[in-house]
Structure 1
Amino acid sequence: MIVFRYLSRELLMTLSAVSAVLLVIIMSGRFIKYLAQAAQGALDPGVLFMIMGFRIPGFLQLILPLGLFLGILLAYGRLYLDSEMTVLSATGVSQQRLFVYTLGPATLVALLVAWLSLGLAPQGVAQVERILNEQDALTEFDTLVPGRFQSMKGGSRVTYVQDLSDNRTELGGVFISDKRLSSDGAKERGITVLVAESGRQEIQPDGSRYLILENGYRYDGNPGKADYRAIQYDTYGMLLERPQVVADIGEREAIPSSELWGSEDQRHRAELQWRLSIPLLVFVVTLLAVPLARVNPRQGRFLKLLPAILLYMAYLSLLIAMRGALDKGKVSPELGLWWVHGVFLAIGLLLLFWEPLRLKLASRRAAREVVHA
């Protein structure tokens, strides 16, 4: 029991550190993506942290298996390097018993991953979809930030307002630069610049929204040429288009797991198998990591780290590829993703029992040589 607690503590501490680093890296990349959309006016900056919070369960369900895999390699590799595993082996702790000890924390991780994969992650994706749908209902007027140039319509329009009322109905100091494109959008035909002292939003009975500018000028022309046309106006109206929010999630990811059970839809069955595969992945990578963590103290703890990571990447990549094939009906649902787990389970068993099997065969060979002698 003392050995089990010691190994579990070392493993869970390394797992927590590795998972925290991976989570920060992944969240930073996604946050930058959402921040770029907010800077372009496609997202309200106030919802960024809500979106990231709801996406955390989806990130963790894939980070924790990798964190456990790396945690076993790093924690047990250090124990081998410090000859602690040699002492444990001398007291009767074999590779098989070490694997049994490791199943304790691995089971906790698998239960947490199952909860995330089957419960929290779909709920989080559903909340993100709700937020993005609300953002789709906004116009560029609703996402304006005073004192900031904001790019709209894929960069073809730049909008700036100096002042904006608290209820977002009145503007002051308006500047709008809009590129005029050809009908196919491939060629720029000129540029239109609008400046106005003030503006307001006006909603029509059909729900469309217009920006009404007052006391300003409109300039039409081509950059680099002196044939600009200037028009002074008292009132000018322009249609407010809705910003396009680019989401990186699929509709199936938001479906509750209870609705996927018993579904005959091919895509739903693929999604359910994927959600069940992630907790199963935890046990298989544990079986792979325990023998791969064994290193010679003279070789260093990182000798097998790169081959082990490549093996893990092959495992996960094959699961993702088979998920896509199952989606398209190229693989039968009965075979599905299960054969991938079976292949790597066999590899793990071979790695775990290879050393005692090799020693047993060597002892038999030596015994035969003695008899013949």
Structure 2
Amino acid sequence: MIIFRYLSREVLVTLSAVSAVLLVIIMSGRFIKYLAQAAQGVLDPGVLFLIMGFRMPGFLQLILPLGLFLGILLAYGRLYLDSEMTVLSATGMSERRLLLYTLAPALVVAMLVAWLSLSLAPRGLGEVARILNEQDALTEFDTLVPGRFQRLRDGSRVTYTRELSADRTELGGVFISETNPAGQQGRGVTVLVAQSGRQEIQPDGSRYLILENGYRYDGHPGDADYRVISYDTYGVLLQRPQVSVELGELEAIPTTELMGSADLRHRSELQWRLSLPLLAFVVTVLAVPLARVNPRQGRYLKLLPAILLYMAYLSLLIAARGWMDRGRLPAGLGLWWVHGLFLLIGLLLLYWESLRLWWHVRGDRAGEGISHV
């Protein structure tokens, strides 16, 4: 029991450290992307942390199996390097028993991944979809930040306001630069400046920014044929920003709705969600024999081949999911054959030394039989 607790603690501590690093890396990349959209006025900055929080279960369901795989490799690799595994082997610790001990923390990870993939991740993506629907109802006016130039309407419009009231209804010191479509004849760039502005909602629901006491400049950059118009009141249509966040519709469907569905894509999504906790068990069978290293070789010798093997496993799962979506794989076969293939590879790696010994003994016996004849 002491050895079991020691091995489990080593695996879980390393798993937690690796998973935390991977989570920070992935979430930082996504957060920077969403932050860029908020800077462009596409997303409200106030919802960024909500989106990241609701998407975290979707990140964790993929990170935890990889963290478990790397955690076993690093933890057991250190034990082999420090000759602790040699001492355990001398006291009767076989690789099969080591695998059974390792399956206990793997069970904890698999249960957590199952909770994430079957419940939390779809629910979180549903909340993200709700937030994005609310963002689609916003206009450029709702995403303005005072004192900042913002590129809107796919970069064709740049808007700036020096002041913005707390209720976001009044502006002061407004600047708008808009590039006309390439096919439009006449003027290339339109610049609007105004002392103040306000938002006005029409009966049909469209919104306008009403500018007061300003000028309009039309012309082509580099030419001297600019047209200047002075106005007392000028209306600008406020377009709704296009929110672009990768979000699949199937991923947000509750698992209970996928069960029993005859739709092939629904069955593929359900098998994918069930595959993630199963992935934790299979990578454990792969990692235990791959963690075995010679102290003279170093603990990182097999790390790169092991990561490549994991990438091949995950890539084949994703490819099989795509084949199943397109009807190239029968639903009965689905994704299970991929797990079976890599489970077989893990068992071969685990019992490779025993198989080699058995083969040599068989060969020696066959040679002795021939010599007697």
Q: Is the 8 A contact 1:274 1:337 kept in 2?
A: yes
1:27 aligns with 2:50: no
Structure 1 residue 188 displacement after superposition: 11
1:329 aligns with 2:336: no
Residue 53 of structure 1 aligns with an amino acid whose one-letter code is G
The residue aligned with 2:96 is 96
- Output one character per residue of 1:97-119: Cα deviation in whole Å (capped at 9) or x when no partner: 11000000000000000000000
**TM-score, normalization: structure 1?**
0.97
The residue aligned with 2:202 is 204
Q: Which moved more, 1:345-354 or 1:117-126?
A: 345-354
The residue aligned with 1:76 is 76
Separation of aligned partners in 2, 1:50 and 1:178: 32
Q: Which moved more, 1:211-220 or 1:319-328?
A: 319-328
Q: Is the 8 A contact 2:19 2:63 kept in 1?
A: yes
The residue aligned with 1:269 is 267
Separation of aligned partners in 2, 1:94 and 1:316: 29
Residue 193 of structure 2 aligns with an amino acid whose one-letter code is V
The residue aligned with 1:182 is 182
Separation of aligned partners in 1, 2:245 and 2:31: 13
**Secondary structure of the corresponding residue to residue 181 of structure 1:** coil
Q: Is the 8 A contact 1:182 1:189 kept in 2?
A: no
Structure 1 residue 308 displacement after superposition: 0.5
Question: What is the root-mean-square deviation in Å for CA atoms of aligned residues?
Answer: 1.6
The residue aligned with 2:125 is 125
Q: How many residues align?
A: 371
- Residue of structure 2 aligned with 1:257, choices 255, 258, 266: 255
Separation of aligned partners in 2, 1:80 and 1:106: 20
Structure 1 residue 363 displacement after superposition: 4.3
The residue aligned with 1:290 is 288
**TM-score, normalization: structure 2?**
0.97
The residue aligned with 2:315 is 317
Residue 346 of structure 1 aligns with an amino acid whose one-letter code is L
Percent identity, please.
Answer: 76
Q: Is the 8 A contact 2:43 2:243 kept in 1?
A: yes
Structure 2 CA distance for partners of 1:170 and 1:354, relative to 1, 3 Å: same
**Secondary structure of the corresponding residue to residue 243 of structure 1:** coil
Structure 1 residue 318 displacement after superposition: 0.6
1:1-373 matches, within 5 Å, as 1-183=1-183, 190-365=188-363
Structure 1 residue 335 displacement after superposition: 1.0
- Output one character per residue of 1:311-365: Cα deviation in whole Å (capped at 9) or x when no partner: 0000000111111111111211111111111111111111111112222333455
Q: Structure 1: any 5+ residue segments left out of the alignment?
A: none
Residue 197 of structure 2 aligns with an amino acid whose one-letter code is G
Separation of aligned partners in 1, 2:167 and 2:224: 40
Separation of aligned partners in 2, 1:362 and 1:224: 84
Q: Is the 8 A contact 2:187 2:218 kept in 1?
A: no
Separation of aligned partners in 2, 1:4 and 1:205: 71
Separation of aligned partners in 2, 1:313 and 1:297: 26
Q: Structure 2: any 5+ residue segments left out of the alignment?
A: none
Q: Which moved more, 1:353-362 or 1:96-105?
A: 353-362
- Output one character per residue of 1:226-276: Cα deviation in whole Å (capped at 9) or x when no partner: 111000000000110000000111111110000000011111111101000
- Output one character per residue of 1:267-293: Cα deviation in whole Å (capped at 9) or x when no partner: 111110100010111100000000000
Runs of 4+ in 1 over 6 A off after TM superposition: 367-371
Separation of aligned partners in 1, 2:87 and 2:322: 47
Q: Is the 8 A contact 1:325 1:331 kept in 2?
A: yes
Structure 2 CA distance for partners of 1:316 and 1:153, relative to 1, 3 Å: same
Q: Is the 8 A contact 1:252 1:268 kept in 2?
A: yes
Structure 2 CA distance for partners of 1:228 and 1:188, relative to 1, 3 Å: closer
Q: Which moved more, 1:265-274 or 1:363-372?
A: 363-372
Q: Is the 8 A contact 1:218 1:232 kept in 2?
A: yes
Q: Is the 8 A contact 1:213 1:236 kept in 2?
A: yes
Separation of aligned partners in 1, 2:363 and 2:66: 40
Q: Is the 8 A contact 1:19 1:64 kept in 2?
A: yes
